[in-house]
Chain A
Amino acid sequence: MIKLTKYIIVWVIALCQTISTAQNCNVFLYQKDTLQYEACLIAEDAYQYYQYSREYQEILDKAIEKCPHFSYAYLNKSTAYLKSGDFITWKYLIDKAVEYNFRENIGYRGWCKFQFFRDYQGAIDDIESLEAVSKGNIGYSAGGHYHLKVAKALCYKQLGDVNKAISIMEEYMADTTLQVSVFDHLHLGAMYLETGIYEKAITQLNLQTVQNDLAENQYYLALCHQKMGNDSLFTEHITKAKEIYLRSQKMVFHYTEPIDRVYLEEINQALIGNEKD
C-alpha cells in the first residue's frame, strides 16, 4: 500500500507538471502585475497549437512584446527547440526564462541540460544554484521520474565521481520526506556495483525488483553475482534480464536514452560470455 501511494504521488507530481504548461493568469492580477497579466492572457491563445508550430511561437512572441520580462513565454517557446535538438536557440530562450524567473526555471534548465545534452557540469551548477536559494524540497524533473537530487547524483557519476554520487543518493534515500522514484534503487545499485560494493548493490537492485522490475536491474544483479563468483545466480538473473527485455520491460524515457540503460546486445554478450566460460 505504501509503494502504491508513492507511485500515485510521483505520477500526480508528473501530472501537475504537465498541467502547469498552462498558467493561471490571475496569479499576476493578485500580484498587481498588470503587464504580466496581459501577456499571460495573450499567451493562453498559444496552447491550442502544437508547441512546434509557427502559430504557437508567434503568439508567445506577442506576449513577450507586451511584457518583455514574461518568463513563461520564453520557457514555452524553448520547448520545441529542446526537443528538436537545437541547443543554440534553446539555450538563448531558456536563459531568458531563468533571467526573469530564476526560482521557477533554474531547476528545469538543469534537468534539460542533463537529459537532452548530457551537460553534466552545467546541470550540477543549475541544481546547486537552486539548492542555494531553496529552503525545502527542490522538486522533480520534468515528467516527474527523477528528484533533482538524483539527477545531480547521476551527473557526478557521469563525471567520474561515483563516491560523491553515492553520498548524494544515500542522503536522499534516507530523507523520509522525499519519495523514492521509479529508477532510484536501480541507479544506486549500479553505483555500488561500479565501486565494487556488491552486497549493497544487490540490496538496492532487489528493492528495484520489488518496486519496478526491469531488464536493467536483472542485468546488474547478474553482474554482481558474477563478480562474487556465483555462476548459478548470474545465469538466473541474466536469463531473466533477457526474458523481460523481450517483453519491453526496460528503462524507457520519452525523447532520450536514460543513464544505466542496458541494450539487448549487451545482455546477449553477457550470456555468450558465460557459455564460453
Chain B
Amino acid sequence: MTESCQHPSVPKDSKYLSMVGDIAPDPKLDDPSFTLCDEKNTKQYHNLNEEMQYEGEKYALDQTFASQFKADPTIKDSGMIRIRFIVNCKGETGRFRLISSGYDYKEKQFDKAITDQLMTITKSLKGWKILSNKRGPKDYYQYLTFKITDGQIKEIMP
C-alpha cells in the first residue's frame, strides 16, 4: 500500500501517507533537479481537468508507445503495469514509481525488458500540459496503466 517514504506531516504510527498514492522524493531513485512548486499541495490530474491533458491528446501518447516499444517475442508476460509520477507546475515530470499485477489483480513482477522500456519511454514523454486552478499552475499526479498481453502493449489507460 505504501510506495515511498512518508510525508513529514503524517503521524509515525499511521500506515497511510498523507494522501493515497503520494510519492515522496527518494534520492536513490529521483532526479535531484526535479522540484515541486508546492510539496504539500500536489493535486490529482482529475482535480484539475476531467481527463488527462497531453499535447496531441491520448492519440499522440498511444502513437509514441506504438512506435518506441519493441516487444520481445520470447517474453510472454501478461497483466497490468502502472507508472505513477508527478507533473510539476512547469510541465516537467519526475518521481516515477511502478506497480504491476497479473490480470487477476495480484501483484506480479514483469520481465525487466518490458518494465524498463515502459519506464524509459514514460520518462521521455514531453507533452504533459501544465494544469492550473484559480491560484495558478499546480503540481499534479498523473499515471499511465499498460495492459500487456504476451509481452505486447494492448491498451494504455486512463
A119 interfacial by beta-carbon distance below 8 Å: yes
Give bound CA distance, A85 to B14, whole Å. Answer: 22
A263 touches B59 (CB 8 A): yes
A interface size (C-beta, 8 A): 34
A86 interfacial by beta-carbon distance below 8 Å: yes
Q: Which residue of A lies closest to B103 (CB)?
A: A119
Q: Given the complex, which residues of B lie within 8 Å of A90, measured CB to CB?
A: 105
Indicate which residue in B1, B14, B51 contacts A257 across the interface (CB closer than 8 Å): B51
In chain B, positions 119-147 with a C-beta closer than 8 Å to chain A are 141, 143, 145, 147
Q: Given the complex, which residues of A lie within 8 Å of B10, measured CB to CB?
A: 54
Give bound CA distance, A83 to B141, whole Å. Answer: 11
**Count of A-B residue pairs with CB < 8 Å:** 98
A89 interfacial by beta-carbon distance below 8 Å: yes
A57-B16 contact given A86-B99, A87-B145, CB 8 Å threshold? yes
Q: Given the complex, which residues of B lie within 8 Å of A118, measured CB to CB?
A: 147, 155, 157
Give bound CA distance, A116 to B14, whole Å. Answer: 28
B57 touches A265 (CB 8 A): yes
Report B119 CB to chain A, min CB distance, Å: 15
Q: Given the complex, which residues of B lie within 8 Å of A33, measured CB to CB?
A: none
**Chain B 18-39 near chain A by CB (<8 Å), digits 1 or 0:** 1111000000000000000000
Q: Given the complex, which residues of A lie within 8 Å of B158, measured CB to CB?
A: 85, 116, 255-257
In chain A, positions 224-277 with a C-beta closer than 8 Å to chain B are 252-257, 261, 263-266
A265 touches B101 (CB 8 A): no
B interface size (C-beta, 8 A): 35
A88 touches B107 (CB 8 A): yes
Give bound CA distance, A54 to B147, whole Å. Answer: 29
B21 touches A52 (CB 8 A): yes
A102 interfacial by beta-carbon distance below 8 Å: no
In chain A, positions 109-135 with a C-beta closer than 8 Å to chain B are 116-119, 122
**Chain A 69-82 near chain B by CB (<8 Å), digits 1 or 0:** 00000000000110
In chain B, positions 41-100 with a C-beta closer than 8 Å to chain A are 44, 46, 50-52, 56-60, 80, 82, 84, 99
A170 interfacial by beta-carbon distance below 8 Å: no
A253-B141 contact given A85-B82, A85-B158, A89-B1, CB 8 Å threshold? no
Q: Given the complex, which residues of A lie within 8 Å of B157, measured CB to CB?
A: 85, 116-118, 256-257
Report B15 CB to chain A, min CB distance, Å: 9
Indicate which residue in A86, A91, A254, A264 contacts B51 across the interface (CB closer than 8 Å): A254
Q: Which residue of A lies closest to B62 (CB)?
A: A263
A88 touches B99 (CB 8 A): yes
A253 touches B51 (CB 8 A): yes
Give bound CA distance, A258 to B57, whole Å. Answer: 13
Binding site for B on A (CB under 8 A): 50, 52-54, 57-58, 80-81, 83-92, 116-119, 122, 252-257, 261, 263-266
Binding site for A on B (CB under 8 A): 1, 10, 14, 16-21, 44, 46, 50-52, 56-60, 80, 82, 84, 99, 101, 103, 105-107, 141, 143, 145, 147, 155, 157-158
Q: 11 new A-B pairs (CB below 8 Å) besides A89-B1, A118-B147? A: A54-B17, A84-B21, A84-B84, A87-B101, A116-B158, A118-B155, A122-B103, A252-B51, A257-B51, A257-B157, A263-B58
